[in-house]
Chains A and B, each alone.
Chain A
């Protein structure tokens, strides 16, 4: 009989932006000043409640007909939704002005399509934060010749609530281990949602 806990999945609090190159930016408000790549720039939300995302912008062929801006998302942040308007203000060296974009679903991480996920704890060892900002919690497990982890991807995690998040996941894991035949439900701190569970 399996031991597991239940995670309610939700995208109500929004999603992080997907890391990597993101096309479709409106460049009409930006002027390329030189070829090169900016340092990570904060992505500012004009609408919606997303925050924390960062991107670099590379300018190539400045002043030529083929002049191009390439935006690479380096930090996904939290709380973004399709339809949100975001902008990237130039650093004054590589470019000036603003690049703007209306986010679509492809710009965001892909959430789990289920409403709930079952997380088995039969081989679990312990839980740990994937990063200091509590963007995810990993539950490590070992089996012969396999060292894997279940990753719970979160929206609303910050360095301030990271401890509470980790203790909440630890509590769910412990209850599932100690109470076979029951499926405890993970209770996350207020404002924190889980949008994906995956075995890594």
Chain B
């Protein structure tokens, strides 16, 4: 029997709204988590999940709406009250002290005065009770990422939580560890603790959760029972039933300009995702999109393609030339340019002027003679980019950091596009950019493709991908789901690929 129906919900949010500048992060969100219930919070990036969770933990104050704990309204939630009520959160990126032991980390996190011996005993007891193997005496830097997550969970459990929030917990776990985690969560739920489980992985939610709330664009778009609803329907809910119209004219694609064969790359840092056997072919004149929720290997893929990380030579080809072993500057000489995700600090140097930033990637284009920079030519190029792309700034001598995000992005796009590359890599090209600049940038990419260049766009923004791409592939867990032409994609197929349910998208019947 559903025993938690008679009792008041552990947490009830009503009409929660929060605005950041021009963005409505949360809009009139209602959420109910029952006692002992495992409740999924489903949505893509930017759907508003992290803002909502920060509000629940008291780190952010909502503009409107109420929070009720077991039918009692909490007028002003803050971290101390949240802690006292029993709200605990396991973050996606842990904050542990690597050179200290597990017990020492927990002692610091709990701010407890008890002795190490007493605490270690409590840690051992809790970890045994929930099947979370942690050794209090081990140093954190010896632990795998899965083990570190267990430390974080034990730390939460020692505070006797009544609501445990888990943010994308399985992205760093092996399949066996995922099973172990689920066993533990179910036991917790049986003991009466409620669990708010944030994820975009549909199969897991179906296997674990009792209820699901779907967020999109800051709003609740659906509530469902994942045990009954099919993953296909949930996927559609996550990405939206109707996909944006595309303006792309069908064109005959040319010869392959970028070929990736069997790209496998280990992750650079413990929170990264390893790439596994990626194959892709980008043809001249086409725009190929790579969709996917952040954290599934996008960073690693771009680093490998742009040349910031090198691999075996034949793995990556530009045209017919092998370039896998070449660095970024060399690949530029072969006609590849790259628009990175981070503008200031990576795509441009904040303290330098626009004119000087033009040189950052264009030094191989005849702007340097015998070691000396041809400043006149660099300035002319910068000025042409400035004019053509309508960059709003105090002139090409303005410091890069004085520009707005949209204008800086326009400049960087213009700089990379200006040399008519054969291959252009673009990472989230309109993220954080205003509407006008976004339109201009997208049009620029379309025009570039029309001249015969091949463009690879990695983005989380499905609307953007559908607007400009010819084909779209999906990156999940470091593996690439092969691309399909945009006309043959449905919300269900794309959503399921992003949710990890399917490894290959079926062609439309």
The answer on A and B forming one complex is: no
